[in-house]
């Protein structure tokens, strides 16, 4: 891998572009920052001598944002996938040593360098498709040292690949085996030791909980949220994926950035999210892998004006997906999002789900240059094709990361 710092600069005038609506567009970049965007015949005279990058008719969008991933873990769980195909139940898989705890075991056994190498390889897939910012959760360590190891890897990935990474502490993902039957004691550990220590090391940008019958209760979730609030950290929630626990309304009371999954979200939950400005993050990869049939309440979310983001939920158990564009396709096909909704879902609304709306997810003058040139005639093609990668050029953090001279 070439060091990201050696990638060519994107400074200059980008011409021959079309915006997602098809209108001609030019962009001007200097010192890695987007300085101007507008019609090609309105380029300010100051840019007359600038280096020209010819977009040759490419469609341009903001850099993509993958706002919910569990990218850093040891091992993989293809065997479980095969067991489930052969008819094994969730309990049988768990009894055979599978499920989240099998990833916890493999993550604990892996060195930081090994986790970095495997997560790097996965990240490359997402970056090649135009991802410029990504959220990475902990939650496969479930002990201070191992959660730290995961979060340190997430920070290293940001440096090594020149990509914006937001880290999320998900210590309350599952009960580790050594705390079986003692969930209160584990939540104490999460709130009193793990979270304060990791926050002090600046490894935590947000805090998440898996609030579900098979994971943590509403009360336990609230305790973690209180600990986050005491440290001034924003919260998010794995909410109403398998049942309606009332998690979304709780999260909204804590001003959550997002509630994610939300297949079983109630009208009361929707209204609470709307009032709090909380984003609904839709995860069609998990819906698909679990062969779920309960659709998230898309029409009601749309009606209420709750912003909808779309993400991979990349994880080794329920969504081994490494294509955000495939999630765009699935969000349209399975969830019936419109193409503009799905594209907003992986750009501006995804940025908002990470608190990055001021810096990512749009072609915003004054921000670091993050954009993608696509080899397509119309925006709908980004949702329509699947299994191909119509990327021509990716400009990430002001450098040409993919394409032209990269």
Size of the residue set binding Fe ion (CB under 5 A): 1
Query: Between 315 and 347, whose beta carbon lies closer to ligand DI6?
Result: 315
- Residue of 208, 212, 313, 344 interacting with Fe ion (CB under 5 A): 313
Binds 210: which of Fe ion, ligand DI6, none (CB < 5-8 Å by kind): ligand DI6
Of 55 and 285, CB closest to Fe ion: 285
Residues with Cβ within 8 Å of 56's Cβ and at least 6 positions away in sequence, in order, are 16
Smallest distance, Å, CB 315 to ligand DI6? 4
Q: Does 212 bind Fe ion (CB under 5 A)?
A: no
Which CB, 234 or 316, lies closer to ligand DI6?
Answer: 316
Residue 280 C-beta: closest distance to ligand DI6, Å: 15
Q: Which residues bind ligand DI6 (CB under 6 A)?
A: 100, 103, 173, 210, 238, 286, 315-318
Residue whose CB is less far from ligand DI6, 9 or 76: 76
* Nearer CB in complex with ligand DI6: 29/350: 350
Residue 259 bridge partners (DSSP): 237, 280
Distances (CA, A) of 58 to 74, 262, 373: 39, 35, 6
Q: Is 131 left (phi over 0), alpha (psi -120 to 50) or beta?
A: beta
DSSP-derived pairing of the beta strands 308-310 and 52-54: unpaired
Cβ at position 259, least distance to ligand DI6 in Å: 12
Residue 318's binding partner out of Fe ion, ligand DI6, none, with CB under 5 to 8 Å set by partner kind: ligand DI6
Binding mask 261-300 for Fe ion (x = CB under 5 A): ----------------------------------------
In angstroms, the Cα distances linking 108 to 114, 138, 140, 141, 187 are: 11, 12, 8, 6, 19
Sole window of 22-30, 95-103, 119-127, 309-317 interacting with Fe ion (rule: CB under 5 A): 309-317
CA distances from 169 to 70, 173, 230, 246 (A): 11, 9, 15, 21
Q: Closer CB to ligand DI6, residue 210 or residue 335? A: 210
- Residue that has been written with the tokens 């001598």 in this structure: 49
Q: Which is nearer to ligand DI6, 100 or 132 (CB)?
A: 100
Cβ-proximal residue to ligand DI6, closest one = 317
- 3-62 binders of Fe ion (CB under 5 A): none
349 binds, among ligand DI6, Fe ion, none (CB under 5 to 8 A by kind): none
Least separation in angstroms between residue 115's CB and Fe ion is 18
Residue number, 263 or 344, with CB nearest to ligand DI6 = 263
Distance CA 15, CA 24 (A): 9
Write down the least CB distance from residue 44 to ligand DI6, Å: 48
Nearer to ligand DI6, 35 or 70 (CB): 70
Using DSSP's 3-state secondary structure scheme, residue 28 falls into strand
Structure tokens at 177: 């085996």
Q: 178-195 burial, b if ≥16 CB within 10 A, otherwise e? A: ebeeeeeebbebbbeebb
Least separation in angstroms between CB 333 and ligand DI6: 20
Within 8 A by CB and 6+ apart from 48, the residues are none
CA atoms 307, 327, 208, 214: torsion sign: positive
Stretch that binds Fe ion, among 5-13, 30-38, 312-320, 394-402 (CB under 5 A): 312-320
Residues 126-139 as b or e (16 or more Cβ within 10 Å = b): bbebbbbbbbbbbb
Q: Strand 12-18 vs strand 24-30: parallel, antiparallel, or unpaired?
A: antiparallel
**3-state DSSP assignment of residue 277:** coil
Stretch that binds Fe ion, among 25-33, 271-279, 308-316, 343-351 (CB under 5 A): 308-316
Least gap, CB of 53 to ligand DI6 (angstroms) = 41
The distance of closest approach from Cβ of residue 365 to ligand DI6 in the complex, given in angstroms and rounded to an integer, is 37
Tokens of 314: 């990349």
Q: How far is the CB of 138 from ligand DI6 (least distance, A)?
A: 12
3-state secondary structure of 196: helix
Which residues are near Fe ion by CB under 5 A?
313
């Amino acid at each position: 891998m070439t060091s990201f710092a050696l990638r060519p600069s994107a400074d200059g005038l980008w011409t021959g572009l079309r915006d997602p609506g098809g209108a001609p567009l030019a962009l001007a970049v200097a010192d890695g920052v987007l300085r101007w965007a507008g019609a090609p015949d309105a380029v300010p005279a100051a840019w007359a001598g600038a280096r020209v990058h010819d977009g040759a008719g490419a469609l341009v969008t903001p850099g993509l944002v993958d706002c919910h991933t569990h990218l850093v873990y040891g091992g993989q769980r293809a065997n479980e996938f095969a067991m489930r195909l052969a008819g094994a139940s969730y309990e049988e898989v768990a009894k055979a040593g599978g499920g989240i705890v099998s990833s916890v075991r493999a993550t604990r056994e892996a060195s930081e360098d090994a986790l970095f190498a495997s997560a790097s390889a996965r990240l490359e897939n997402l970056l090649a498709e135009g991802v410029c910012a990504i959220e990475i959760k902990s939650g496969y360590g479930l002990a201070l040292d191992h959660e730290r190891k995961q979060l340190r890897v997430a920070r290293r990935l940001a440096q090594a690949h020149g990509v914006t990474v937001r880290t999320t502490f998900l210590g309350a993902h599952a009960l580790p085996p050594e705390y079986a039957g003692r969930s209160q004691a584990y939540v104490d550990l999460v709130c009193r030791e793990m979270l304060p220590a990791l926050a002090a090391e600046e490894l935590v940008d947000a805090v998440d909980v898996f609030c579900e019958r098979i994971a943590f209760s509403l009360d336990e979730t609230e305790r973690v949220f209180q600990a986050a609030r005491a440290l001034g950290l924003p919260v998010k929630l794995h909410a109403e994926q398998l049942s309606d626990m009332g998690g979304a309304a709780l999260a909204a009371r804590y001003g959550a950035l997002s509630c994610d999954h939300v297949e079983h979200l109630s009208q009361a939950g929707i209204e609470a999210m709307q009032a709090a400005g909380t984003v609904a993050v839709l995860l069609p990869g998990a819906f698909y892998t679990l062969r779920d049939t309960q659709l998230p309440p898309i029409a009601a979310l749309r009606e209420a004006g709750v912003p909808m983001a779309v993400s991979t939920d990349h994880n080794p158990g329920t969504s081994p997906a490494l294509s955000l564009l495939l999630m765009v396709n699935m969000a349209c096909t399975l969830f019936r999002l419109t193409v503009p909704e799905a594209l907003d879902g992986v750009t501006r609304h995804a940025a908002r789900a990470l608190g990055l709306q001021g810096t990512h997810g749009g072609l915003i003058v004054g921000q670091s240059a993050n954009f993608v040139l696509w080899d397509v005639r119309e925006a709908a093609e980004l949702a329509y094709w699947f299994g191909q990668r119509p990327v021509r050029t990716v400009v990430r953090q002001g450098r040409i990361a993919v394409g032209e001279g990269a």
